[in-house]
Structure 1
């Protein structure tokens, strides 16, 4: 006879089967883990890993909890039955995609845990905590893709082969309108709910990872793109008390934010919150926030998706700066400049052609002079939530730094499409390279720093994209693309495994210091330390105080 499900999973409305009754005094299999919120049964795989999928870490953010800070799950008494954890939890609301690995629902605050086969609770393994990217708009912890798969089997297998086994955790967090809704009408404590989801997931891992054989004091954050920006944000805006992690890895982080206007900016006419109110007709009612909370999910999702898909790079919302009581009470560069952040080991870098995939909007438009300068200005301005802060003098200076028909733009992957090459070169410097340099310049001497510049192309990918944003991920996660040097791919992964275990990447990767501002050139034919000096004039201007103010960073 099946035992009724009494664990918190029933509160979360997950239709998991319950094939056994777990005793509080003894668990029936080593794949049963007893957490503060219930007992979960994982599954073994054919690849010598064990995994637990779809573990809830917060109450579902539905109904009156929509747009609000996440609410922790209550602890339970040990009379509960166990729950199968063999299916991914729902992906958070976003535009439809065929690679999310799970259905979309507001009830989406779940995480996944993977470990080497046979790990014991007493093993105290280090933990790699993955935060997916997607411009705070798309993605999931269950992401699958022809380009890379976020399943960590390759990572775990390599860590075991190196004698440095680790545990891997991936999470979902609220995105776009559902996670980063911004307005002066929203309580400061509820702003940037998606980032607060990440914080709560970290707290959940700290409190429960020992049951899986992990060490809560050996957690390393890792993310790419907005996930990398999230890692940096956790350094800049940590929870009070002892840090919940001991190191961070940020691949191609965005600064941590591309731009971060005040929450009230979104209320201005024509800005996202104002447009959302009119699209939902909540502008007509007195309690506008309650109107949005009571909006049928599918209606709100459709309106949100339409707004997202009509925005350049789908970047409708950015993490917003709020008044006291917000998780982001002041801009990031202000904290960087005064050294007000966690001084923990940090590994970060950029790819050679970061901006190409994110500048496709202007590719092959065949716009010649003199219209090209205007099109370039428009591309720059459209990437800001509120471009009224952007001066004509700044646009003129940017045009001069990235002139038309400059054969150097794009390096060896110069396309000859002048507008595209300018836009892509600027985007990479503005959003990624400059962001990494600003943080390193202010963190140098305060903590161990390791910088990289990834330059390995992938055979078969579109040549005009060069070594694009995210091109390093399939070498780490796998499957490693055909034609890529496998020795190089393994060495790249080894750096990550070493860093998670030892808080230094090893393999000749030298620390970034005042004596030697050098980065590791990640290229199979020339893996070496190089000076951090390319495009220096451009990034110094783009990350000057005046420009940072205009871009609201």
Structure 2
């Protein structure tokens, strides 16, 4: 009997050790912990696969609630309730409900290229308002670090922070910063366009972002972050063009242009009401709140409906340039950029199926109907925006980059080049996640280290510059090319020379009212 008990105890101990090890926790049960006003949080440790220029591990707190979750459907976020026992925060939480609008093989590719290029799609749920914090071990309330706040891409239709490619541990260790990644609602769940939702509360996806930023202001010091030094990076046009007050960040890095959703969100919402027979109810939105989320997702995908933000509600504007000239844009330093072959991934998706991309719809809207002309523009388009020029001419500090590098491991389709989002693994140092496509090269490793230094340095001291001249400060020689011609650093060139192939598309977006 005694031997049986010893054997059983050994099995339990072995199982416990395996469980802890699977999450990166030490077998001694010594996971890092943080106490905030809501309760105690037990995190884990994360040692990134890429250690170029850095060694060690980050304290990672995964799946921390920043709001009540699940939220009331279509409503603004509310404060998360407190908890009385320690909260395990050792695994990513589900993505919010995503919408992939292409059909057939194009939808398969859209999910593959954008949903999760390195693995299966994550679980989805309305119970999704969680964030992740990655902090260097030295971070504390008495040794506060700059904070980098990531907003994932997805054209306000899909996306999540719960992907390994957004693991912030490498960036946190290499740059001695605290990295925060958040989930927020997209598509109809984040931008319902319902007339029953009060003005100011309609864009719940943008309100999720603001709520998470306020959570950072209230709580990040407990993780060793400095709430007075927060840099937002990623998809940030909504926060910048119509910022909250007081401003919860001090700098911004825009790695892409604003959302290019074209169409009427109001009309889309009416079609959803009709589909589920809610249009004649005394409260259509109450009726729609009872419909299973999976049914709504299936319909809006099959019908390819679009749900752009509601402009003029205090969180979104249609005229970004007007926000700049009217001084509503926050007076903070901005690093803004794109990739050399920004649109190739969209072309790769759309030519594989019968879907219609946002840019294709833009060109059709203003009279460009030739398939050859569209494909030519899409193949060369590198998202030359005018925001940098408008910022400089109105007294703002802006720096501009273009990511030119392409590598075997990030070539997720043939002739991919430097496509939209391909710079992300270089910024986060998560390029090892792409090993199934090819091994990392020395240039890739060194370029990632250099870019982390640029991003992290800007976050730590935005007024210190980025290593090349600001827009308007060097007679036009102000565009920093990252990874060009086999480089593992930056080459500074004349902006006009690089922008010439993009002028045609800039004119198209101007005419369509989508300039940024």
The residue that corresponds to 2:344 in the other structure is 356
Q: CA deviation at 1:181?
A: 1.4
Structure 2 vs 1, CA of residues 444 and 233 (structure 1 numbering), >3 Å: closer, same or farther? farther
CA–CA distance in structure 2, aligned partners of residues 181 and 360 of structure 1: 29
The residue that corresponds to 2:396 in the other structure is 447
Q: CA deviation at 1:297?
A: 2.9
The residue that corresponds to 2:449 in the other structure is 490
The residue that corresponds to 1:55 in the other structure is 64
The residue that corresponds to 1:328 in the other structure is 316
**Other structure's SS at 2:133 match:** strand
* 1:232 equivalent in alignment to 2:237: yes
C-alpha contact 1:247 1:344 (8 A) present in aligned 2: yes
1:86 to 54, 69, 90: 90
**Other structure's SS at 1:113 match:** strand
- For residues 158-193 of structure 1, the C-alpha deviation after alignment (integer angstroms, 9 at most, x for no partner) is 22xxxxx11111100011111111244432222211
C-alpha contact 1:379 1:423 (8 A) present in aligned 2: no
The residue that corresponds to 2:37 in the other structure is 36
Q: Which runs of 5+ in 1 are unaligned?
A: 1-18, 20-27, 160-164, 366-374, 405-417
CA–CA distance in structure 1, aligned partners of residues 200 and 348 of structure 2: 37
CA–CA distance in structure 1, aligned partners of residues 162 and 391 of structure 2: 35
The residue that corresponds to 1:520 in the other structure is 480
C-alpha contact 1:495 1:505 (8 A) present in aligned 2: no
C-alpha contact 2:336 2:388 (8 A) present in aligned 1: no
CA–CA distance in structure 2, aligned partners of residues 238 and 550 of structure 1: 21
CA–CA distance in structure 1, aligned partners of residues 279 and 129 of structure 2: 29
Would you say how many aligned residue pairs link Structure 1 and Structure 2? 451
CA–CA distance in structure 2, aligned partners of residues 455 and 172 of structure 1: 29
Q: CA deviation at 1:533?
A: 0.7
What root-mean-square deviation, in Å, do the aligned CA atoms of Structure 1 and Structure 2 show? 3.3
- For residues 52-88 of structure 1, the C-alpha deviation after alignment (integer angstroms, 9 at most, x for no partner) is 11111111244xx2101111235x5xx9332221122
Structure 2 vs 1, CA of residues 477 and 334 (structure 1 numbering), >3 Å: closer, same or farther? same
* 1:206 equivalent in alignment to 2:217: yes
Q: CA deviation at 1:476?
A: 2.2
CA–CA distance in structure 2, aligned partners of residues 169 and 550 of structure 1: 33
TM-score normalised by length of structure 1: 0.73
CA–CA distance in structure 1, aligned partners of residues 88 and 397 of structure 2: 41
Q: CA deviation at 1:200?
A: 0.3
Structure 2 vs 1, CA of residues 42 and 251 (structure 1 numbering), >3 Å: closer, same or farther? same
The residue that corresponds to 2:76 in the other structure is 69
CA–CA distance in structure 1, aligned partners of residues 318 and 77 of structure 2: 21
Which piece of structure 1 moves more, 98-107 or 508-517? Answer: 98-107
Note the 1:382-531 alignment, pairs <5 A: 383=361, 390-392=365-367, 395=368, 404=372, 420-425=375-380, 428=381, 432-434=383-385, 437-444=386-393, 446-459=395-408, 461=411, 462-480=413-431, 481-485=439-443, 486-503=445-462, 508-513=467-472, 515-517=474-476, 518-524=478-484, 525=486, 527-531=490-494
CA–CA distance in structure 1, aligned partners of residues 141 and 62 of structure 2: 18
Note the 1:255-270 alignment, pairs <5 A: 256-259=258-261, 265-267=264-266
C-alpha contact 2:261 2:307 (8 A) present in aligned 1: no
CA–CA distance in structure 2, aligned partners of residues 100 and 113 of structure 1: 23
Q: CA deviation at 1:100?
A: 7.3
C-alpha contact 1:209 1:216 (8 A) present in aligned 2: yes
CA–CA distance in structure 2, aligned partners of residues 193 and 297 of structure 1: 16
C-alpha contact 1:498 1:504 (8 A) present in aligned 2: no
Structure 2 vs 1, CA of residues 536 and 419 (structure 1 numbering), >3 Å: closer, same or farther? closer
Q: CA deviation at 1:279?
A: 2.2
CA–CA distance in structure 2, aligned partners of residues 101 and 306 of structure 1: 18
TM-score normalised by length of structure 2: 0.78
The residue that corresponds to 1:23 in the other structure is none
Q: CA deviation at 1:101?
A: 7.7
Q: CA deviation at 1:257?
A: 2.9
CA–CA distance in structure 1, aligned partners of residues 78 and 60 of structure 2: 25
Q: CA deviation at 1:132?
A: 0.8
- For residues 215-249 of structure 1, the C-alpha deviation after alignment (integer angstroms, 9 at most, x for no partner) is 100111011xxx2xxx23212211122x1111011
